[in-house]
A and B are shown apart, each in its own frame.
Chain A
Amino acid sequence: MKILVCINKTPDTTSKIAFKNNNTAFDDSGVQWIINPYDEWYSLVRAIELKEKDPSIIIHLVTVGSADCDPIIRKAFALGGDEGFRINIDSTDSSFIAAQIADLANKNQYDIVFTGKESIDYNSSAIGGIIAELIDAPYISLATLFELNGNTATITREIEGGEEVAEVSLPLVVSCQKGMAEQRIPNMRGIMAARTKPLNVIEPIAQENFTSIINFELPPAKAGVKLVAADNVAELIRLLHEEAKAF
């Protein structure tokens, strides 16, 4: 069995969000890069847990991006994974990125492709669905539990106002969120092993960017908080009711 885990490099959750070049590009000066939390905590760790149960499972990691993504793949290797692929091109278009991953998936014939439910930078929730369509596989989004029984996966997914349990035959694509696995911290052995795991750099396939970012904007600044004294709760409720018309 072969599992592909999609890994994305994102700014740390506490990063200051600022833009440069006339607001056309993200200003990454001083930004710490991390593995997208959904990719790390949920999809990668769940893949590792499956391998712990069945050591014959092979885990591949893939990222689409230039050489500055290598440290992110190494970080992921410290947690687990057998072999990595970096598809050597930068893009912000979901269709473009997913097409690159789908090409690798078609070549290597994975049984499971895991993605995070979204990336915390572009928040599109799109890569998994596009990969699934391009490799013609079922897709379960927003998964919170994933169990494997032979060639069938039993997956719990979020739906509006609840959850649903689905049975799906492999191969399939799953986007992962909280519940799938518990966050882990790499140990020394993992960190040492990460250095020598094979990381293959492959060139992208020809594909158009269907979308392009024109520019970025920061939300308008808030007017500032209106504080009400603790002994005047009725005034707060009056403001919410009459001024803000919030209920």
Chain B
Amino acid sequence: MSVLIFIEHSEGLIKKSAHEVLTYGAKLAAQLGTTAEGLVLGTVSENLTTLGKYGVTKINQINNESLNTIDSKLYAATIAEAVTLTGASVIIFSHTPTGKSIAARVSAKLKAGLVSGAAALPDTSNGFIVRKSVFSSKAFANISINTDIKVISVNPNSISAVIGNGEATLNQLTINVGSPSIKIIAVNKITGEIPLTEADIVVSGGRGLKGPENWGVLLDLAKALGAATACSRPVGDAHWRPHHEHVGQTGVQVAPNLYIALGISGAIQHLAGVNRSKIMVVINKDPEAPFFKSADYGIVGDLFEIVPQMTAEIKRIKGIA
């Protein structure tokens, strides 16, 4: 009956999105009158018992060389066995690149109903109904999961991690882990940058910046805020900025606390990737730019004059020289 939470980690550290799903799973377990347990595949350097502070009672770990390769086939088989061993009936993932590659496979293996990209805790008052965003964040659907075992992947930034003072026990699971069906031959991490989907603040630029040589003003603002940087599709297509920064319906979907759009018109396809942001700020010289209709704050004006002033003021408040 318990809730099992798949815990993502990278370079030995538990990810921020994992803290969120731990909270999500613990709250769901409380709602269902059962316990929440975590599942860690592979090695981490953090002390796993401290994850009890998110409300889970036990962390299950499977430690095996083969699990260093995140192979959906191997992971799904291993996780399905862990589900059987722990007797879990709800399995929670983060809706991140890793979660997306595994959750669906696990659901197929367990013949479980899947809701991916959940936006809120399930309503369990009458059945099991999960809210998820659909139509590229332009609407929500309430979806009933009708199977005994249920799989949910939760959109990052849709629930805040809640910290209490519990401690979890650590349980090593003995499972026969097979070997990966894929071979990783290279890993290119973008170092020194904040991953876009995990960022609290995103500063994004559009065609209004006129060319790649003008990105300095944007990067300065992002640096002052500790923000990740993004761009509109034409900017990515023109190679002014790398592909992975393109946000929108056909790019990365983000949901930070603060999204600042500089020289972006706010086309519907752009908004589809950013409108889950809590606060949206728009700087655009055209008062008719559609983005102003969805924004929370804005200035109508020339970004090249306004942005350096924003940076200076933020530095002043933060006391950065």
Tell me the A residues contacting B by CB distance below 8 Å: 11, 13-14, 17, 19, 37-38, 41, 93-95, 98, 120-130, 132-134, 136-142, 144, 154, 157-169, 178-179, 208-219, 222-223, 225-230, 233-234, 236-237, 239-241, 244, 246-247
Contact = CB atoms under 8 A, between A and B. Distances in A.
Nearest to A139: B72
A125 B117 contact: yes
A236 B317 contact: no
Given A120-B249, A133-B109, A216-B140, A210 B145 contact: yes
A129 B103 contact: yes
A210 B112 CA distance: 7
Contacts of B184: 164-167
B241 to A, nearest CB: 13
B197 interface: yes
Nearest to B133: A123
Contact of B143 (A159, A208, A214): A214
A233 B316 CA distance: 13
A241 B187 CA distance: 38
B134 A211 contact: no
Given A120-B135, A132-B73, A211-B146, A160 B101 contact: no
Q: What are the 5 A-B residue pairs with the smallest beta carbon separation, nearest first?
A: A129-B104, A230-B301, A210-B113, A133-B108, A162-B189
B53 interface: no
Contact of B279 (A93, A139, A219, A240): A240
29 contacts: A13-B136, A17-B139, A93-B113, A94-B114, A95-B113, A95-B114, A98-B108, A120-B136, A122-B141, A124-B114, A125-B100, A126-B116, A132-B73, A133-B73, A138-B73, A160-B96, A160-B195, A162-B187, A178-B246, A178-B251, A211-B113, A212-B144, A215-B142, A225-B298, A226-B298, A230-B299, A239-B297, A244-B296, A247-B314
A215 B244 CA distance: 34
Contact of B201 (A141, A227, A247): A247
B78 to A, nearest CB: 13
Interface of B: 8, 10, 15, 70-73, 76, 95-98, 100-105, 107-109, 111-117, 129, 131-147, 181-190, 193, 195, 197-198, 201, 225, 236, 243-244, 246, 249-251, 257-258, 268-269, 272, 275, 278-279, 281-282, 292-302, 305-306, 309-310, 313-314, 317-318
B98 A160 contact: yes
Given A210-B111, A230-B299, 15 more contacts: A123-B132, A124-B117, A125-B117, A159-B98, A160-B97, A164-B188, A165-B184, A210-B114, A217-B142, A222-B293, A225-B295, A226-B297, A233-B299, A237-B314, A244-B258
B7 to A, nearest CB: 14
A166 B185 contact: yes
B113 A237 contact: no
B135 A219 contact: no
Counting chain A CB atoms within 10 Å of each CB, the highest count among B71, B112, B116, B278 belongs to B116
Nearest to A162: B189
Nearest to B76: A133
A167 B186 CA distance: 10
Contacts of B100: 125, 129, 141-142
A87 B141 CA distance: 25
